[in-house]
Structure formats: structure tokens, C-alpha cells
Amino acid sequence: MPELPEVETTRRGIEPHLRGQRVARVIVRHPQLRWPIPTDLAAQLTGHVISEVQRRAKYLLLPFAHGQLIMHLGMSGSLRIVPAAQPVKKHDHVDIELSSGQALRFTDPRRFGAVLWQPTDTELHPLLADLGPEPLTDEFNGAYLFERSRGRSAAVKTFLMDGHIVVGVGNIYANEALFSAGIRPDRAAGKISLARYEALAQEVKVVLARSIKQGGTTLRDFVGGDGNPGYFRQQLQVYGRGGEACVICATVLDEVRLGQRSTVYCRRCQR
């Protein structure tokens, strides 16, 4: 379910409940996620105090002196703070119980998510090593996109969703940002001008920031760490609206597949 705004919403929701808490117990009910949960996870975490929750791309990180916990929500994952005694449901795979009596509960029906442990000794974890810049930093801008895209024939939407180029822009926000920037999603990335990439970078930042402010986009059942849904859905201009009227010019929005992902755009507003 989550793109960057949903992950950041989760981070902000859970951090106040985790900060300063000691891990009392770790329960792994279903270790088979995208990769197996390390068998020593409980041994690594139990008794240690959580200092903060960081985010890099769509990964949530709990740093400790002796290593870090890496979590990813995949397509359908969520993390919530619940009373440790709250009965579990079908897809509640992991509980990290805290000294407060609450637990951080990892739920993920499709199990595309991940819970990993990385000891401190090694360098950057391979999953984090080759990631592009964070979209909400100055490092990510039109000039950067322009430079990285030269010579590339792939569709600009696919390019924008490539985590090696920039992290955190998933299918929803790629569709939205391209609409706001007036760029057709299937245009070759290498043939777009600097000026248009400046607009695109700007719109990526705007749409992500706005969504974070509203607690993310709840499509099916996304809830932040506090259990509240996100309210950005009602502001989506193209995602999920194929066949409906463009909010700008009322032209019927086209829906096509690009790199196996549903892609919606206005053939009149986006060129």
C-alpha cells in the first residue's frame, strides 16, 4: 500500500510510542516475508532501548549501537501500535513488545514486506546502497533529472519510478506529478527538456509534501501508526480516474499500462 508519504506517516505515527522504550519481547509468527525474517531477530532486539525511527526511501530503520532493524511495508504492509495483549488477526506476522505494555505490530497480507537485521560492522546494507536521492531534498531537482535521463529511451514515468534515480515515487504519485507537470507518461525520458524536468521535480515535491501533510493516501485500508486513515485520496487528480473527466479540461482520461503499471493521463493537458 505505501508510497513515501504513507511510510513517512507511519514513521511519525509510531515514533513517539517507540522512543525510549525497551524491547521486552519479540514474537515472529510468520517469518516468510519477501526474505525470511532472521532467526536471531528476537535475540538481537530484546532488552535494547529504541532511540528513534528513521526513514530512508520506503524503508523504516530502528538504529541501535549494535546494528539496525530494517523494515519495508511492501505493497500491503502496515505497522501499528497496539496493546501487547490485543488479539492477533490473520496477517499479523510480527510483534515487537515494549516496556510500555504496547507492541509494534507488523501486518502484511501479501508478504511483500521485509523485516531484516543488519549488524553494525558492515557498510551500508545492500538494499540501501544504490538508492537515488530523497525527493524532498535539494539534491533532487530538474537539473539532476535532466542529467540522469540523457540517452535513456524508457518512458519518463518508468524512469521516475526507478529507485536508483529517485526514491519514494510510486505509481500513485508518479501519475499525479506527471499530470501536474503536464508531461505525457510515455514520453521518452531522454527527450524531455531541462525546463520540463524542473517543473516535474517541483511537482513531485509538491504532491509528496501535500500528501504527507494529509496523512498519506488511503486506498483500501491504509492506516498510519496511530490507526487513522490518510486523507489525500480525495485530492488525486488522475490516479484511479481512468475514463473519468480531466479536472482541468474535462477530456476523458486515458488509462494505459506502462511497465505493467496502470497509468492514467489526459491526452490534452499532458504532452
Chain residues that interact with DNA, rule: CB under 7 A: 1-3, 6, 32, 34, 57-58, 72, 74-76, 90-91, 109-112, 127, 151-155, 158-159, 161, 163, 170-172, 189-190, 216-222, 230, 259-262
Distance CA 12, CA 150 (A): 37
If the CB atoms of residues 161 and 199 are measured against DNA, the closer one turns out to be 161
Q: Are 8 and 209 in contact (CB under 8 A)?
A: no
Distance CA 249, CA 266 (A): 9
Q: Catalytic site residue 3? A: yes
Q: Catalytic site residue 147? A: no
C-alpha distance from residue 213 to each of 6, 216, 227, 242 (Å): 10, 7, 16, 26
Q: How far is the CB of 127 from DNA (least distance, A)?
A: 5
Hey, is 20 helix, strand or coil? Answer: coil
Which residues contact residue 1 at a Cβ distance below 8 angstroms, ignoring those fewer than 6 apart?
Answer: 73, 75, 76, 77, 78, 219, 220, 221, 222
Q: Are 116 and 56 in contact (CB under 8 A)?
A: no
Q: Catalytic site residue 5? A: no
Q: Catalytic site residue 176? A: no
Q: How far is the CB of 78 from DNA (least distance, A)?
A: 9
Which cell numbers in the block locate residue 152?
535513456
Distance CA 59, CA 46 (A): 21
Q: How far is the CB of 208 from DNA (least distance, A)?
A: 12
Q: Which of 55, 58, 148, 184 is catalytic?
A: 58
Q: How far is the CB of 163 from DNA (least distance, A)?
A: 5
Q: How far is the CB of 264 from DNA (least distance, A)?
A: 9
If the CB atoms of residues 22 and 38 are measured against DNA, the closer one turns out to be 38
Q: Which of 201, 126, 124 is nearest to 168 (CA)?
A: 201
Q: Are 113 and 77 in contact (CB under 8 A)?
A: yes
Q: Which of 3, 15, 176, 203 is catalytic?
A: 3
Q: Which of 25, 152, 261, 268 is catalytic?
A: 261
If the CB atoms of residues 169 and 246 are measured against DNA, the closer one turns out to be 169
Residue tagged 496523512 (cell numbers)? 215
Strand order through the sheet with 78-83: 23-28, 92-98, 102-107, 78-83
Q: How far is the CB of 75 from DNA (least distance, A)?
A: 5
If the CB atoms of residues 84 and 154 are measured against DNA, the closer one turns out to be 154
If the CB atoms of residues 70 and 266 are measured against DNA, the closer one turns out to be 70
Residue tagged 473519468 (cell numbers)? 244
If the CB atoms of residues 102 and 180 are measured against DNA, the closer one turns out to be 180
Q: Which residues are catalytic?
A: 2-3, 58, 261
